[in-house]
A and B are shown apart, each in its own frame.
Chain A
Amino acid sequence: MAATARALSPTPTDRVDALVKPNAANSPLWLCAYFPDLALAALHLDLGQAVASSALSKGQTRLYAVSEAARQAGVEPGMAPAAALALCPGLSIRNRDPLAERQALQQLAEIALDFSPWVSLDQTDCLLLEIRSCLTLFGGVEHLQDKLRTALQTARHRPLIAISPSPTASTLLARLNLETIVSDRQALRSALGPLPIAALELDDKILHRLFRTGIRQLTDLWRLPRDGLAKRYGAVLLQQLDKLAGQQTQVLQAFHKPPSFQASREMPIELERIEHFFPAVEQLAGEFAAFLKNRDATTLGIILELHHHDRPATRLTLDFRVGNRAPKHWCSLLYEKLERSPLPAPVLALTLLSSAIVPFQPERFSLFDDSEQPSSEAEWQAVLDQLQARLGHHALKFPGTCSDHRPERAMTDTPSPLNANPGLPSRPLWLLPNPDPIRIGDVHLLSAVERIESGWWDDQFIRRDYFIAKDTRGRKLWVYRDLNTKNQWFVHGLFG
């Protein structure tokens, strides 16, 4: 009996061993791909030419990154553009674009996700991949490194790749252009030994003090007693060393691909009538809605592609005003679009795509508001979506006001937070976009003059005397005398 029980449950000592002694084969291995030319490649510059990107540093324009060709001409990062141009007259300098760099790095991270499920963008211009878990799949470190390098180079970026059990050490090695592979934690210290201490991310003061004591390389630091180092140079230095040696756990943020959805349906035969293939669209919409619901997300737009034989696919695009995950609503909009636009050929297959996926925001209700809303905000937005889908993107306008004295500039087509009434004399309900010239004899002035004189700061200077007038047809007009152009009279608006 006792033997059976022991066989069924592993002995407690075994379990403790597994927890205490980390298996070397399971400890993470970090690959760092560093992109020295990311700032240039993100601007789509030709790296074979002498090119450079510049950025503002302490109020002055300085070169931020330079290509290899420029470097050979003597140009270095940190130079003033004028000095660089003197050294290399053919140098083309572009402004650095951090946003483009970030996007380029994200694209590279998406490629890297094919190699490892764990990619981090925490280090600037670097990708960090945890590769221990995928070594078997790719058949060893070297194979994985080669494949990753090829994939990244296909995306027109030049990576420097270093591999070690510590993410900090990998980053350091890659940045120093040392493409080494250190798979063992024991070998890490000796591999890092010859590196200069200037490569550490340390205060200039501490570096200077270390330098004065004759410490040049990391080996010199490894040899010193820890407590003495901590006492003299602070805990930061020790932390750095521990991170390098992989003895301190680091929390890195994982990169996740922005979610997107794509699903297709093949038709058994070519279908021409909407009623015949529309059930498939409904199915796809249902799948997408389930996808969104699982992720607690909504979509801002979907694309339906209808594939034909020997013809480019027909694309129907829907954009929503607010995030939406109601398949019925999409289907009604798509159906309407399909009904209104005849298809060039019968449909062979359908694809539903969406990459505009945003987090779901529930409708907010007031706790105490008992007034019954006739219909919900979502339904109203659905109606506006319908109008927008049929009438076009710019058909819906939410006019607002703008604080400008010039009447034609006092209104905008976009909603404005500023909706205050500044106590002006009364304004007409209709404003003519182009004022009509009139003869003043035809109208009868009703009001006192209102002088509007404004806009001297830009080229739209106006100087006008406005009146309310009535014409022979009984219309109430808003007329003005233009003081800039020989006192000519114009109708500018109608009081409806």
Chain B
Amino acid sequence: MNRSALDQLLRSQAGIWRGLRSENQVWQVIPSGFAELDALLPCGGWPLGGVLEILSPCLGIGELSLLLPAMADLTQAKRWIAWIAPPQQVYTPALLQAGIDLNYVLVVDCRQAADIPWSLEKLLRNGRCGMTLAWPRRLSDHQIRRLQLAAEAGSALAVLFPKQLNGSGYTALRLEVRPAETGLDLHILKARGSLQRASLTLPL
């Protein structure tokens, strides 16, 4: 069996993951709006059709600013941004300043924590929603897997800001952010399709 035949075989098997940067896996992405970050992310942007976990020590260090350019792009493409049970009041003038079209912003109140994954799944699966943001207290591997599938079905980005480090294997991308003197320290802990662990500091 020559090299290309082996390559073909490996490509045809969906269950085989080939480590590092594998060029054969291409999925839809949306540029993050930060060139240095795009260069590190697989396929050059946030994965559309995947779960993105952002681990942040506390609210307000700039973890949301990371997503604002992508949100603006999505609303310009007439796709909705859904905020599920945000921990504080989302302040619309700031969204407007970031270039987000408020006609495509939806805020959902969830009284019960159990409704959060259900709502996320419903919204993600429908293709009109481009991004969901949620701050769940606890999600099981099984639930994250379901979200991942829903996001793939609707080709949307599901952003989770977990309270604790889940360590789920099903997320497409996991980042850790820390405040830095000059901006935001960012560590890529896990990226689907890449073994590379990278760090950078973004000036925000």
Listed in ascending order, the chain A residues whose CB lies under 8 Å from chain B are 373-375, 377, 379-380, 383-384, 386-387, 390-392, 394-401, 407, 410-412, 415-416, 419, 421, 424, 426-433, 473-477, 493-496
Contact = CB atoms under 8 A, between A and B. Distances in A.
Given A398-B105, A419-B101, A430-B60, A387 B96 contact: no
A411 B92 contact: yes
B109 A395 contact: yes
Nearest to B79: A374
A242 to B, nearest CB: 58
A358 to B, nearest CB: 23
A411 B91 contact: yes
Interface stretch (B6-14, B15-23, B122-130, B192-200): B122-130
B119 A495 contact: no
Given A391-B111, A400-B92, A427-B91, A496 B179 contact: no
A399 B108 contact: no
Given A374-B155, A419-B103, A387 B119 contact: yes
Nearest to A420: B96
Interface in B83-128: 86-97, 101-103, 105-111, 115, 118-119, 122-123, 126-128
A111 B56 CA distance: 67
B162 interface: no
A421 to B, nearest CB: 5
Contacts of A431: 88-89, 91
Interface string B28-58: 0000000000000000000000000000011
Given A374-B154, A390-B118, A391-B119, 9 more contacts: A379-B126, A392-B111, A399-B107, A410-B92, A415-B102, A430-B59, A475-B179, A476-B62, A495-B94
A394 B109 contact: yes
Contact of B58 (A391, A416, A475): A475
B143 interface: no
15 contacts: A375-B127, A387-B108, A396-B107, A400-B92, A419-B103, A426-B94, A426-B97, A430-B87, A431-B88, A473-B57, A473-B58, A474-B57, A474-B179, A476-B60, A493-B91
Given A374-B155, A431-B88, A474-B179, A496 B64 contact: yes
Contacts of B86: 430
B106 A410 contact: no
Interface of B: 57-65, 80, 86-97, 101-103, 105-111, 115, 118-119, 122-123, 126-129, 154-155, 178-180
Contact of A379 (B110, B115, B128): B128
A474 B178 contact: yes
A495 B90 CA distance: 11
Contacts of A380: 80, 126, 128-129
B93 A474 contact: no
Nearest to A410: B93
Given A424-B97, A430-B90, A400 B102 contact: yes
Contacts of A495: 60, 62, 65, 94
A496 B96 CA distance: 14
A439 B41 CA distance: 41
B126 A391 contact: no
Contacts of B103: 415, 419
Contacts of B128: 373-375, 377, 379-380, 383
A386 B122 contact: yes
Nearest to B154: A374
A412 B61 CA distance: 25
Given A396-B108, A432-B89, A473 B122 contact: no
A496 B177 CA distance: 12
Contacts of B80: 380
Contact of A427 (B63, B94, B111, B180): B94
B105 A399 contact: yes
A268 B51 CA distance: 49
B127 A399 contact: no
A469 to B, nearest CB: 11
Contacts of B87: 430
A421 B126 contact: no
B179 A427 contact: no
Contacts of B65: 429, 495-496
Contacts of B92: 399-401, 410-412
Nearest to A495: B60
Most interface-central of A377, A380, A426, A494 (chain B CB within 10 A): A494
A334 to B, nearest CB: 16
